[in-house]
Amino acid sequence: MEISWDLMHEQIAACEKCELCRNIHNKVPGQGNPEADLMFIGEGPGADEDLQGLAFVGRAGQLLTKMIAAIGMTREEVFICNIVKCRPPQNRAPFPEEAAACMPYLRCQVGMVKPKIIVLLGATAARYILGDHIRITRDRGIWVEKKGVFFMPTYHPAALLRDESKKRDAWHDLQAVQQKMKELGIKE
């Protein structure tokens, strides 16, 4: 069955599949170009995102905006979302049952956007998408192709704010994303 963006947003807004929907201000479905070739998936909304209902708008989001600009793109040209659509308490990582409850929405978003490249921001996003065997420090920067989509795990912008020594590796990952975009004919 074909689903519209409006219907999916209505379903997310009404969702009570897990406890994360309690004590939040806003659901954060994600935003950007609905036909983007490049998608970024993070872990879950933080405090700023919960207040505004938009993904990646706090300090980590500001850094993500700069990262996107560094590869010649704008936030409006990409799609940005998270594994879970509600803020976990104290910004903890989503529990497996919480991620599982939101996964149909994420699969729907990926299916509707049809990105060619998905950048997985942080260990949580990488593990929930690529599998529990993923270790971000070991596996970041390594391409994984699934069903014709190229996945690149890299550090979450919040991790880069906590540990600036990771920025060099993240920059190498972004350069690899930029190179893959050229190979695929995206944004020449």
Q: How confident is the model over 40-68, as pLDDT tens digits?
A: 999 999 999 999 999 999 999 999 999 99
| Total length of the chain | 188
* Rounded-to-integer distance, Cα 100 and Cα 93, Å: 13
* Pairing outcome for strands 31-32 and 79-82: antiparallel
The backbone region for 2, taken as left when phi is positive above 0, alpha when psi lies in -120 to 50, beta otherwise, is beta
pTM for the predicted model, two decimal places: 0.97
Where do the domains of the chain lie? Answer: 28-183
The helix (H) or strand (E) run that includes residue 60 is helix 59-70
Q: Is the confidence at residue 2, as pLDDT, over 90?
A: no
The helix (H) or strand (E) run that includes residue 46 is none
Q: How confident is the model at residue 1 (pLDDT cuts 50, 70, 90)?
A: low
* Amino acid sitting at position 72: G
Structure-block tokens of residue 40 = 């970024």
C-alpha closest to that of 18 among 128, 125, 100: 100
- Please determine, looking at this structure, whether the domain spanning 28-183 carries the CATH number 3.40.470.10: yes
* Amino acid sitting at position 123: A
Is residue 94 within 8 Å of 44, Cβ to Cβ?
yes
